[in-house]
Structure 1
Amino acid sequence: MYLGIDCGTQSTKALIVAEDGTIRGKGHAAHELIERPNGAREQDPAWWVAAMIDAVRQALAQSGLPGREIRAIGVSGQQHGLVVLDEAGQPIRPAKLWNDTETSPQNQELVLALGGPSKWFAEYGIIPLTGYTISKLLWLKQNEPEHFRRVRHIALPHDYLNFWLTGRHVAECGDASGTGFFDIRRRAWAAGPLDLIDGGTGQLRAALPALIGADDIVGPLQPSAAEALGLSTDCLVSAGGGDNMMGAIGTGNVHPGVVTMSLGTSATVCSFSPEPVLDARGWLAPFCSSSGGWLPLVCTMNATNVTGGIVELLGRDIGYLSDALDATAPGAGGLTALPFLNGERTPDLPNATGTLLGLTANNMNAGNLVRAMVEGVSFGVLAGLKLVLGGRRAARIFLIGGGARSPQWRQLIADASGAEIVVPVTEEGGCLGGALQAMWAEKKQRGATEALADITARCVAIDPAKSAQPDAGRRAAYDAAFALYRERLQQIHGVAG
């Protein structure tokens, strides 16, 4: 048996998976979130640990299995967060998260300090955007110098959980490639950007964890972690990865031709590549995968927070979202939402706010308001899909995340993209990806090596009841609504989606 753990923004989930892909147990525990009006979004790493313990014990109880039967664990974590540890390995302060926009000025400062976006791209193949880890380090130095001086270890959220589990400070290329101080082409740390922050003292270079391979084992559970989780110290911990990387594994996106789209708190779309896919504009994140290749990815920062928010504002439950889509036509009667409630990453508009355009006496009703929000979120991520595929159309999209639960939203994505939409039986792609990577690494460790693509082919099952075929009759209406979205994006923000 293998255990996948996914530490997200809102909660931590656990999934126990058999070697044939059968799900044996699930667990879930919510997190608190620190939010401030200036864009700060933070969490105490201790909350992640407590939630992980709770979720794992729930999954074990549901499975009825003894803890000793869990051979290996793979951890998926929200990307870009900054955990800073002191000499004793203790968190110095709450972690700043991927959707923290308080550090936008520091990101701009760093990009200019190295010579601008083109210089960053030439040097490292990536351009840091607000939300990446590096700007959080400069923010810490400028705003909390007493904390900055104590930094001895830099960790991403999943790295920190691996450290808590094993006592080892390590990282892998997938999650590391979203820090802003990693060369995605050479798959190595790029310490030069860190020198801009600490003045070349070497403090931050020394705080970097060692890099390991995607199919490597971090180590066995240390006794304290095994006892807390109800597992054995024989249980191994795989390299793990960022939530997008592990979600890709959990949808079989480990070879060319597969597209994964996630509609969660943020929305992402990605497709595996055996070679780096570079974007000089910086909107496409040319990340490494957590399966040994690359994972060109576009992230938008506003998704189910927008759709859930409008439904709540209208005093309805989340089921109303599907009802509203059923009751309204593509284009929402000319109403367009630019749903940038948290600022936006793609396009790079960290200080943007949400905008509603085209409101008239004829289209001002609850159904159109909900549809406009859903379409605004969807058009943003579909614009990202065009970047990922270089303008080619996807034939099939694996859809995961909370948005995938709505049949009407699935159909909207199918109609607007022209692609077949499929949903894995297991909704939690990050958890499943963690478990499958753990299986891959554990098999290698004991000399029973199996290709990850073969593991995913066996273990990633599709729910046929949730598939959606595109309706060609709706395509023209969605094309027109998408064009209006792009026109209004240009009008308000001066950029084309």
Structure 2
Amino acid sequence: MYIGVDCGTQSTKVVVVDGEQGRILGEANRPHRLIEGAGGRREQDPGEWVAALIHGVKAAMAQAGIDGQAIRALAISGQQHGMVALDRHGNPVYPAKLWCDTETVAWNSRLIEQLGGPQGCLDRLGLILQTGYTASKLAWLREVHPDAYARIATLLLPHDYLNFWLTGERVAEAGDASGTGYFDTRARTWRRDVWGVLAPELDPDHVLPRLIDSHAAVGTLRPDAAEALGLPARVLVASGGGDNMLGAIGTGNIRAGRVTFSLGTSGTICAHSDTPVVPENAMLANFCSSHGSWLPLICTMNVTSATTRIRELFGLDLITFGERIAQAPIGADGVSVLPFFNGERVPMLPEATASFEGLSSVNTTQANLCRAVVEGATLGLRYGLEQCGPLAASVDEIRLIGGGAKSPVWRQMVADVTASSVVCPVVTDAAALGAAIQAAWCHQGGELEPLCQAMVTLDETSRAEPDSKGVAAYREVYARYRGHLNRQHGVATAE
């Protein structure tokens, strides 16, 4: 038996998986609090992640009805980019600054300039720095909170921090490290020259974690951690990875031709590549995968985070919200939403705000507003898919995960907007499942592909094929969306 954990922005999810039959025996979920403030500040207390992990493992084990002695290994999937800076005692010097924090826009721009502009970033890192990455957070802390910065003994990502709590080991792997902004995604190593620009006072040999392979074990559980979780200390802790990397494993996206869309708090598009990708712009990130290859990735910042705001504004539950979306026609009678409540990464508009376009006394209805915000989030993902270039052209199937994937209306919308076949895995919490699969890979050895074949099952009842009328209608709606992007934010329309 194996445990997979996904420490996300909104909650920690835990699954207990039968490694032989690929069945989920138990699962649990515990929410996190988000600390928000002026200027785009979004932070969390890492201690809440530990509490959620302990609660989730115990609850999932209880639901599975199995003893802890049956567990062989576990792995952690974590929200990417978060800055977890620890002092010499292993305590945070400042709350974890998250991927969706946009308070560090100016510091990111300054770093890009110091590294020689976009081309300098590409030459050193294989990608172009973005505000969400860890690097600008550290630069911000250095300038704004120098006392906290001076106490840093270790710098970790969220999933690395949970591995540290579990094992006492300070390690990282290439997939999650790709999103720090001081890691060479082609050579799979820390970039000391970039670190020297970013944090010249801190010795990278002491502050940065040791890099391990994605199929390697971090170690076994510390006695205190084992006792808190109700597991034996011999349980292996696999390397884990970023939520996008483990989500790819959890959807079987480990070969060319497959694309994973995540309709979660944020929206992500990731493909598979056997070789590093040379991005044509800053929006496509040449990340490493957590299975030894590369995972070119696009991330939009407003998907269910945007739709939830409108749903809750109207006081609707998920079922009623879905009914409202279905009641409105494609294009929401001319209502368009640029849902940039959290700023936006794709397109690169970190300081943007949301806007509603085309409202009139006739079309301002609850149904149209509900549909328009979902369409806005989905059209943003189509814009992101276009940035993938040749990788997008080779897509034969989109595997859809995240909370939004549970909506039949939304699945059909994705199929029509992208003109692609769409299907969900049976387990839509793919990052947690991917973590369990990686744990099995670490414990059993061998190849990853057979494990994915055994443990990733597609839900054919969820499959949505593009409808020719819907595809044609969304072609016009997308053109309208691009027009609004151009007029509001100067994002040029496609030729």
TM bucket normalised to smaller = over 0.9
Distance 2:486 2:153 in 1: 44
CA shift for structure 1 position 387: 2.2
After superposition, give the CA deviation of every residue in 1:459-482 in whole Å (9 maximum; x if it has no partner): 101122222121112111001001
Note if 1:164 corresponds to 2:165. Answer: yes
Q: Which amino acid is the alignment partner of residue 319 of structure 1?
A: I
Q: Is 2:289–2:295's contact at 8 Å kept on the other side of the alignment?
A: yes
CA shift for structure 1 position 330: 1.2
Note if 1:484 corresponds to 2:483. Answer: no
Note if 1:453 corresponds to 2:453. Answer: no
Counterparts of residues 129-140 of structure 1 (less than 5 Å): 129-140=130-141
Tell me whether 25-34 or 152-161 shows the greater mean CA deviation.
Answer: 25-34
Residue in structure 1 matched with residue 242 of structure 2 by the alignment: 242
Residue in structure 1 matched with residue 95 of structure 2 by the alignment: 94
Residue in structure 1 matched with residue 216 of structure 2 by the alignment: 216
Residue in structure 1 matched with residue 185 of structure 2 by the alignment: 184
Q: Secondary structure at the match of 1:466?
A: strand
Note if 1:372 corresponds to 2:368. Answer: no
Q: Is 1:253–1:260's contact at 8 Å kept on the other side of the alignment?
A: yes
Counterparts of residues 95-114 of structure 1 (less than 5 Å): 95-114=96-115
Residue in structure 2 matched with residue 127 of structure 1 by the alignment: 128
Residue in structure 1 matched with residue 273 of structure 2 by the alignment: 273
CA shift for structure 1 position 393: 6.0
Distance 1:259 1:278 in 2: 18
Tell me whether 206-215 or 47-56 shows the greater mean CA deviation.
Answer: 206-215
CA shift for structure 1 position 395: 2.8
Distance 1:320 1:108 in 2: 43
Q: How many percent of aligned residue pairs carry the same amino acid? A: 48
| Structure 1 segments unaligned to the other structure (5+ residues) | none
Distance 1:488 1:233 in 2: 56
Q: Which amino acid is the alignment partner of residue 410 of structure 2?
A: W
Q: Which amino acid is the alignment partner of residue 98 of structure 1?
A: W
Q: Which amino acid is the alignment partner of residue 36 of structure 1?
A: G
Note if 1:463 corresponds to 2:464. Answer: no
Q: Is 2:257–2:394's contact at 8 Å kept on the other side of the alignment?
A: no
Tell me whether 318-327 or 426-435 shows the greater mean CA deviation.
Answer: 318-327
Q: Secondary structure at the match of 2:225?
A: helix
Q: Is 1:14–1:28's contact at 8 Å kept on the other side of the alignment?
A: yes
Q: Secondary structure at the match of 2:91?
A: coil
Residue in structure 2 matched with residue 144 of structure 1 by the alignment: 145
Report the count of equivalent residues.
491
Tell me whether 360-369 or 476-485 shows the greater mean CA deviation.
Answer: 360-369
After superposition, give the CA deviation of every residue in 1:314-349 in whole Å (9 maximum; x if it has no partner): 222222332122211111112111110000011111
After superposition, give the CA deviation of every residue in 1:370-399 in whole Å (9 maximum; x if it has no partner): 111111100111121222253516331111
Residue in structure 2 matched with residue 11 of structure 1 by the alignment: 11
Distance 1:8 1:108 in 2: 27
CA shift for structure 1 position 275: 0.7
CA shift for structure 1 position 292: 0.5
Distance 1:310 1:102 in 2: 24
Q: Which amino acid is the alignment partner of residue 266 of structure 1?
A: S
Q: Which amino acid is the alignment partner of residue 287 of structure 1?
A: F
Distance 2:409 2:328 in 1: 11
CA shift for structure 1 position 93: 1.7
1:54 to 1:496, Cα distance in 2 relative to 1, 3 A? farther
Residue in structure 2 matched with residue 336 of structure 1 by the alignment: 336
Tell me whether 405-414 or 487-496 shows the greater mean CA deviation.
Answer: 487-496
Residue in structure 2 matched with residue 355 of structure 1 by the alignment: 355
CA shift for structure 1 position 202: 4.3
CA shift for structure 1 position 359: 1.3
CA shift for structure 1 position 417: 1.2
Tell me whether 109-118 or 262-271 shows the greater mean CA deviation.
Answer: 109-118
Distance 1:380 1:263 in 2: 11
Distance 1:483 1:192 in 2: 43
Distance 1:358 1:388 in 2: 30
Q: Is 1:247–1:431's contact at 8 Å kept on the other side of the alignment?
A: yes
Of residues 471, 475, 484 in structure 2, which corresponds to 1:475? 471
Note if 1:409 corresponds to 2:410. Answer: yes
Distance 1:198 1:280 in 2: 28
| Structure 2 segments unaligned to the other structure (5+ residues) | none
Residue in structure 2 matched with residue 252 of structure 1 by the alignment: 252
After superposition, give the CA deviation of every residue in 1:13-60 in whole Å (9 maximum; x if it has no partner): 110111121111111111111111221111111000000000000000
Q: Secondary structure at the match of 1:337?
A: strand
Q: Which amino acid is the alignment partner of residue 397 of structure 2?
A: R
Counterparts of residues 38-117 of structure 1 (less than 5 Å): 38-117=39-118
Tell me whether 188-197 or 336-345 shows the greater mean CA deviation.
Answer: 188-197
Q: Is 2:124–2:191's contact at 8 Å kept on the other side of the alignment?
A: no
Q: Which amino acid is the alignment partner of residue 265 of structure 2?
A: T
Q: Is 2:326–2:371's contact at 8 Å kept on the other side of the alignment?
A: no
1:381 to 1:412, Cα distance in 2 relative to 1, 3 A? same
Q: Which amino acid is the alignment partner of residue 148 of structure 1?
A: Y
Distance 2:358 2:316 in 1: 24
After superposition, give the CA deviation of every residue in 1:420-454 in whole Å (9 maximum; x if it has no partner): 1111111210100000001001112xxxx2x1111
Distance 2:455 2:4 in 1: 13
Q: Secondary structure at the match of 1:319?
A: helix
Counterparts of residues 29-44 of structure 1 (less than 5 Å): 29-44=30-45
Q: Is 1:13–1:29's contact at 8 Å kept on the other side of the alignment?
A: yes
TM-score (norm 1): 0.97
Residue in structure 2 matched with residue 292 of structure 1 by the alignment: 292
Q: Secondary structure at the match of 1:463?
A: strand
Residue in structure 2 matched with residue 118 of structure 1 by the alignment: 119
CA shift for structure 1 position 267: 0.4
Q: Is 1:273–1:293's contact at 8 Å kept on the other side of the alignment?
A: yes
Q: Which amino acid is the alignment partner of residue 220 of structure 2?
A: P
Q: Which amino acid is the alignment partner of residue 350 of structure 1?
A: P
After superposition, give the CA deviation of every residue in 1:93-133 in whole Å (9 maximum; x if it has no partner): 21000001111111111111122112111222111101100
Distance 1:195 1:406 in 2: 47
Distance 2:5 2:388 in 1: 27
Distance 1:385 1:453 in 2: 25
Distance 1:488 1:434 in 2: 40
Q: Secondary structure at the match of 2:211?
A: strand
Counterparts of residues 411-430 of structure 1 (less than 5 Å): 411-430=412-431
- Provide the alpha-carbon RMSD of the alignment: 1.2
Q: Which amino acid is the alignment partner of residue 356 of structure 1?
A: F
Residue in structure 2 matched with residue 315 of structure 1 by the alignment: 315
